[in-house]
Amino acid sequence: MLQKMVKIQVLGPKKDLPNVLDVLYAKGTVHIEDASVPMAPGEISLKRMTAEQVGDITVAHSKIGGILLTLPKIKTDEKAIVNFYTSLKSMGHDSLLTRANTVISELEVATKTYAKEKSDLELALINLGRYEKIIEKIRPLETSMPKLEGFEVTVLLIQKEFKDVIDIIRNTLAEITKRQFELLSADLDEATIAAVTIFNKRYSEQVHSYFFDQNVNEVRLPPEYLGKPFNEIFTLIEEKKAASTREISRLNAELEKISSSWYTELSALHRILGERTEELGIFSKIGQTEYTFVLAGWIPKKSLNETRDALKDTFGGRVIVNELILTPEEMAEAPTFYDNPRFVKPFEFLMRVVSPAKSTEFDPSPVMAIFLPLFFGIMVGDIGYGLIIIAFALIMKWKFSDRDWLQHLMNVLIMGAIWSVIFGWLYGEFLGDLGEHMGWIEPKTFLGITWNRMEAIVPFLILSIAIGVFHVFLGLIIGIVNAWTEMSCKRHVDKAKKHICEKSGMMIVITGLLIVLGGVMMALPTLIISIGAVLIIIALPLILYGGGAFGTFEIMSTVTNILSYSRIMAIGMASVILAVVANKLGGMMEVALVGIIIAVLLHTLNLILAMFSPFLHSLRLHLVEFDSKFYEGGGKMYKPFKKENGGKSI
What is the secondary structure of 349-365 as a DSSP string? HHHHHH-PPPTTS---H
In this prediction, residue 130 carries a pLDDT of: 72
**Ranges assigned E (strand) in 399-555:** 445-446, 449-450
pLDDT(616) > 70: yes
At 289-331, the pLDDT tens digits run: 778 888 888 999 989 999 999 998 888 889 999 888 887 777 8
Confidence label for 649 from pLDDT (cuts 50, 70 and 90): very low
pLDDT(396) > 50: yes
How far apart are alpha carbons 423 and 209 in whole angstroms? 82
- Contacts (Cβ under 8 Å, ≥6 apart) of 23: 310, 311, 314
pLDDT(164) > 60: yes
In this prediction, residue 226 carries a pLDDT of: 58
At 421-466, the pLDDT tens digits run: 999 999 999 988 888 888 888 888 887 888 888 888 888 898 999 9
Residue 3: closest CA among 348, 488, 495: 348
Q: Cβ atoms within 10 A of the Cβ of 256, count?
A: 14
More confident residue, 275 or 294: 294
- Given a contact cutoff of 8 angstroms between Cβ atoms, the answer to whether 315 and 12 are in contact is yes
In this prediction, residue 368 carries a pLDDT of: 93
Local structure of residue 589 (DSSP, 8 states): -
- Given a contact cutoff of 8 angstroms between Cβ atoms, the answer to whether 411 and 346 are in contact is yes
Residues facing 157 on adjacent strands: 194, 217
- Given a contact cutoff of 8 angstroms between Cβ atoms, the answer to whether 270 and 649 are in contact is yes
In this prediction, residue 198 carries a pLDDT of: 79
For the segment 80-97, the average pLDDT, to the nearest whole number, is: 79
Domains of the chain: 5-92+262-331 (no CATH), 124-238 (3.30.70.2750), 342-629 (no CATH)
pLDDT(418) > 90: yes
In this prediction, residue 175 carries a pLDDT of: 87
pLDDT(606) > 70: yes
How far apart are alpha carbons 59 and 163 in whole angstroms? 50
How far apart are alpha carbons 87 and 459 in whole angstroms? 70
In this prediction, residue 53 carries a pLDDT of: 45
For the segment 113-120, the average pLDDT, to the nearest whole number, is: 88
Q: Cβ atoms within 10 A of the Cβ of 433, count?
A: 22
Confidence label for 549 from pLDDT (cuts 50, 70 and 90): confident
pTM of the model: 0.66
CA distances from 601 to 385, 388, 393, 564 (A): 14, 15, 20, 31
How far apart are alpha carbons 503 and 546 in whole angstroms? 8
Instruction: Give the per-residue SS3 of 234-248.
Output: HHHHHHHHHHHHHHH
Run of H or E residues at 426: helix 404-427
Highest mean pLDDT among 78-82, 108-112, 283-287: 108-112
For the segment 37-65, the average pLDDT, to the nearest whole number, is: 63
Confidence label for 529 from pLDDT (cuts 50, 70 and 90): confident
More confident residue, 550 or 412: 412
- Given a contact cutoff of 8 angstroms between Cβ atoms, the answer to whether 9 and 296 are in contact is yes
Residues facing 47 on adjacent strands: 288
In this prediction, residue 648 carries a pLDDT of: 41
How far apart are alpha carbons 496 and 649 in whole angstroms? 53
